[in-house]
Amino acid sequence: MAATRSGVRVFTIASSAPFLPTLIRALIDGTLVPGFPASDDPLALTAATLYLPTRRACRLARDLFVDAVGRNAALLPRIRPIGDIDEDELAFADAASGVLAEAALDLPPALAPLERRLLLVRLVLQWAASVELHGAGGAPLVAHSPAAALRLADDLARLIDDMTTRQVAWDRLDRIVPDRFDAYWQLSLKFLKIACEAWPAILEERGAIEAAARRDRLIAAEAARLAAATEEPVIAAGSTGSIPATAKLLTTIARLPHGAVVLPGLDTDLDDVAWDMIGGHAPGSETPGPPAFGHPQFAMQALLQSLGVDRTMVTALAPHAPHGRERLLSEAMRPAAATERWRERLDAGAIDAALVDLAVIEAANADEEALAIAIALRETLEHEHKTAALATPDRALARRVIAALARWDVAVDDSSGDALGDTPVGRFARLIAEAALD
């Protein structure tokens, strides 16, 4: 049973199960929200709202819904990306009155990405041209060119976005570089203070706010709207709540009378001691250890804690696959302080069973690596009902694989696409921007 003892409904889908088909099946058969849908009425599903992590997941869900209902056409739930809030709905919904309407209508705009980037470049160039950034002979201590300023501005923009998203106060910068450190570190700190002193002044002058801050405010307004509209089913699926604003939205949805949160691949195999270590609070320890921020379960553990939900209260919508790879991955990701339990939890039989049908290729170079992957993907076409996917954070590798497949006329659906700066138009725009700064 889902976590109803704390007034919340939380589910999970195993990593080895198809996420969207399992989710849609659970919604249609009434597992997610008891009593919904109440009938086979084609209009029944339209009362629900389904939040998914990305626009791509939303598009795929629409196609899968049509297959799941078994009709040529169907009226579907409202399916939205969890971070893309409809401002018009906030402003004109029945519940949008008073503070909520004001939050939607009076929200300042965000700067356009190009305008923001060029303004940051100007601030970086001013910082680089200051007297303290030159040595005794007048030689600059940092590269003073438009290209270098663009790179520094992009790094600074990423820092601003991360600090805003994580809701970290800028005054914490004052404590990261003590006075006893070398003067070079103080210069770096002054560079970072562009983001907390000069940049806010520019935003105030233009009556704008950061795009990340605007998104967070919209998510907060959406949570308030959902809390007021308690009659309709609302499901959030696939998000781990790694962003504080998103975690608050998930908490609101989980506590709605007809709400449900579906977590992706919650680790139910890890023992309780190691699970608590992920959050930095091992049971029985007077001095908590450092949280395992890089652990893939860290965000979900924090979300469950905020909900007051134990893992045993989370309902699995699909069982683990029999190969046991989830358990092996769980042990591989075990916090370092608890790895002594490998001796009792891992045996040769379990490892061998989890590694069946897995292969490792040691490539001599990047081209050989891409060609090996392309051949493996190409072989899938020999089987009518098989599919294959390449999951990699390395865009250079992905491009090499796509180029290799193109030689065999194999079309690829590249979900990441190309960054604008890597396209001919983007490179041309960058040249124009650099010329304008000279």
CA angle at residue 237 from 160 to 18, to 5 degrees? 120
Strands (E), 307-427: 315-318
Is the pLDDT at 116 greater than 50, yes or no?
A: yes
- Please answer whether residues 261 and 236 qualify as being in contact, where contact means their C-beta atoms are separated by less than 8 angstroms: yes
Q: Between 360 and 96, where is the model more confident?
A: 360
Q: Between 114 and 189, where is the model more confident?
A: 114
Whole-number pLDDT of residue 438: 62
Question: Using CA of residue 221, residue 227, residue 233, residue 235, what is the dihedral sign?
Answer: positive
Q: Between 358 and 418, where is the model more confident?
A: 358
For the segment 170-193, the average pLDDT, to the nearest whole number, is 74
- B/e letters for 248-283, b = 16+ CB within 10 Å, e = fewer, are bbbbbbbbbebbbbbbbbbbbebeeebbbbbbeebe
What percentage of the chain has pLDDT greater than the value 70?
A: 85
For the segment 320-339, the average pLDDT, to the nearest whole number, is 89
Return d(Cα 147, Cα 121) in angstroms, integer: 9
Whole-number pLDDT of residue 95: 45
Query: Which residues 6+ apart lie within 8 Å of 144 measured at CB?
Result: 125, 128, 129
User: Taking the model in full, what pTM does it have?
Assistant: 0.80
Return d(Cα 164, Cα 213) in angstroms, integer: 6
Return d(Cα 16, Cα 268) in angstroms, integer: 13
- Please answer whether residues 327 and 350 qualify as being in contact, where contact means their C-beta atoms are separated by less than 8 angstroms: yes
If you compute the radius of gyration of the chain from its CA atoms, what whole number of angstroms results?
Answer: 26
For the segment 270-294, the average pLDDT, to the nearest whole number, is 78
Return d(Cα 329, Cα 190) in angstroms, integer: 43
Return d(Cα 280, Cα 273) in angstroms, integer: 11
Return d(Cα 52, Cα 264) in angstroms, integer: 11
Give me the amino acid identity at 123. L
Query: Is 362 strand, coil or helix?
Result: coil
Pairing between β-strand 234-237 and β-strand 49-52 as defined by DSSP bridges: parallel
- B/e letters for 159-172, b = 16+ CB within 10 Å, e = fewer, are ebeebbbeeeebee
Q: Between 285 and 126, where is the model more confident?
A: 126
- The model's pLDDT over 209-260, given as tens digits with 9 standing for 90+, comes to 998 998 888 888 888 888 877 678 999 999 998 888 899 999 999 999 899 9
Whole-number pLDDT of residue 94: 46
Is the pLDDT at 419 greater than 80, yes or no?
A: no
Return d(Cα 61, Cα 395) in angstroms, integer: 26
- Please answer whether residues 261 and 240 qualify as being in contact, where contact means their C-beta atoms are separated by less than 8 angstroms: no
- Residue 191: half-sphere exposure toward Cβ, Cα within 13 Å: 22
Preceding omega of 37 cis (within 30 degrees of 0): yes
Is the pLDDT at 65 greater than 60, yes or no?
A: yes
What percentage of the chain has pLDDT greater than the value 90?
A: 35
Is the pLDDT at 96 greater than 50, yes or no?
A: no
- Across the chain, mean pLDDT equals 83
Return d(Cα 252, Cα 231) in angstroms, integer: 14
